[in-house]
């Protein structure tokens, strides 16, 4: 009976939160760009001030990651995002084309539902609050239950900042009684205009099947290619920096590394030099049975944990205390090859290919199995190699010579700083972009007439004999040359 009452209370809370958010958003819609930006700046400043405290709470609540790295993520999700979006025009007229006589007006979506994961709970909350308000929206959060306390505290910090900046604190709110029914009710609420979903595959699928427009992201499972021209010590450093950052909880982090066969000994030697521990066959088998659950999904016990913790849980007793990542040789993809899956912890698969073409084929196979549309990284000095992979790999982000985790989210690259990374149609996502304010607003076009109907008719081709023919004046010189080339080619074949 208590569980039933909890469900009812949570659903009632959602209705009240959305109602208050809708009212606050209507107030925001009447504000100027400078007033909106003032609120966003206040959130960013508050996020920086509270970065350490919120990082400590997130670590305490979830057991994931490292406090010092979570501080960086909180500052990134607040100040880093703000610095990128602060000059974006998101209120009123965005563009005017005086030649075509078309104006583009920004239109807020309204109330956004923000689903928050346990891997990056406080930083994602700060980030989503900023981009939602920058686009003129209110946002209601559905928190992951294991990170409820730190998410609620982050929302409290944000609401106080909004109030002090002269805004309505109900622009940002959060479910305090997290249940599946509450989240479902939020996603289906008639006054929720958009769902911004970051989390597990099941939750993202639920968002897309709700009937409410949604932006969701699939799993990351990015391979990293060490191409033969790379600076090997620097490439390995970047990969290990990335994979160990917050114990691998960022979905853009490397999940496997791959190199040409003849480079394998040198790559392994350099990785071991920098703290990688290569598992022997018995250890590989033992850990492989631990990192996935029976249904083939990632074991949550490895998420965000240290090498020491994972080794202890999996019963690996030879892993040295100095090990930074665990590396397992892998030769296949899919079921029966557990290291080919996403592993949000300091664990890497190690692949080799005959040459760059074989490597590219294997990279594509890995991503199509899991991680399609997300992120791929490579380390090379050859721009032709970059072009070759960029044309073929099914990823929305191709990271070159940078730690993939930090590059993918826009920390070490010029991409939009984001903690929701679109995977495009190939990954089942509504966008391939790093999600920012421009994905959370609609545009309204104002178009002035340029032609009358008589002018359109006058431009039509001659169709008097039933076949429409272009007038000579409608055929360009390039068209004539193309026609001549085709005729000459046909004559040669006769």
CB of 111 closer than 8 Å to CB of 22:
yes
251 labelled catalytic: yes
Q: Which of 174, 251, 259, 364 is catalytic?
A: 251
CB of 237 closer than 8 Å to CB of 406:
no
Overall residue count recorded for the chain in this entry: 494
| Residues involved in catalysis | 251
């Amino acid at each position: 009976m208590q569980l039933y009452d909890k469900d009812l209370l949570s659903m009632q809370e959602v209705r009240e939160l959305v109602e208050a958010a809708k009212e606050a958003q209507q107030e925001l819609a009447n504000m100027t760009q400078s007033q909106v930006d003032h609120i966003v700046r206040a959130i960013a400043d508050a996020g920086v001030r509270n970065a350490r405290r919120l990082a400590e709470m997130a670590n305490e609540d979830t057991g994931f990651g490292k406090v010092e790295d979570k501080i960086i993520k909180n500052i990134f999700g607040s100040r880093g995002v703000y610095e990128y979006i602060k000059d974006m025009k998101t209120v009123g007229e965005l563009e005017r084309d005086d030649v075509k006589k078309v104006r583009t007006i920004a239109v807020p979506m309204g109330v956004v539902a923000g689903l928050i994961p346990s891997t990056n709970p406080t930083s994602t909350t700060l980030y989503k609050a900023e981009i939602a308000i920058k686009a003129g929206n209110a946002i209601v959060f559905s928190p992951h239950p294991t990170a409820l306390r730190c998410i609620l505290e982050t929302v409290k910090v944000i609401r106080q900042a909004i109030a002090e900046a002269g805004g309505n604190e109900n622009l940002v709110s959060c479910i305090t009684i997290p249940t599946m029914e509450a989240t479902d009710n939020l996603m289906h609420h008639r006054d929720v205009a958009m769902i911004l979903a970051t989390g597990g595959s099941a939750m993202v699928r639920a968002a897309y099947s709700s009937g409410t427009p949604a932006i969701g992201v699939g799993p990351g499972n990015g391979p990293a290619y060490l191409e033969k021209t790379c600076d090997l010590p620097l490439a390995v450093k970047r990969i290990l920096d990335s994979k160990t950052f917050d114990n691998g909880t960022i979905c853009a982090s490397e999940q496997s590394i791959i190199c040409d066969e003849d480079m394998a000994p040198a790559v392994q030697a350099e990785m071991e030099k920098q703290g990688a521990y290569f598992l022997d066959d018995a250890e590989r088998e033992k850990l492989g049975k631990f990192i996935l659950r029976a249904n083939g999904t990632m074991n949550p016990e490895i998420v965000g944990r240290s090498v020491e913790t994972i080794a202890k849980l999996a019963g690996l007793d030879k892993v040295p205390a100095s090990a930074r990542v665990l590396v397992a040789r892998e030769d296949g993809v899919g079921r029966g090859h557990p290291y080919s899956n996403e592993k949000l912890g300091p664990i890497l698969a190690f692949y080799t290919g005959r040459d760059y073409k074989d490597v590219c084929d294997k990279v594509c196979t890995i991503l199509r199995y899991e991680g399609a549309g997300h992120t791929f990284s490579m380390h090379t000095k050859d721009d032709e190699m970059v072009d070759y992979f960029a044309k073929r790999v099914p990823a929305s982000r191709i990271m070159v010579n940078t730690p993939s985790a930090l590059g993918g989210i826009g920390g070490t690259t010029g991409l939009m700083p984001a903690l929701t990374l679109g995977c495009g149609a190939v990954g089942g996502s509504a966008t391939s972009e790093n999600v920012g304010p421009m994905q959370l607003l609609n545009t309204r076009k104002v178009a002035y007439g340029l032609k009358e109907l008589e002018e359109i008719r006058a431009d039509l081709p001659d169709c008097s004999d039933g076949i429409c023919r272009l007038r000579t004046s409608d055929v360009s010189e390039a068209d004539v040359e193309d026609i001549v080339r085709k005729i000459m080619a046909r004559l040669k074949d006769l």
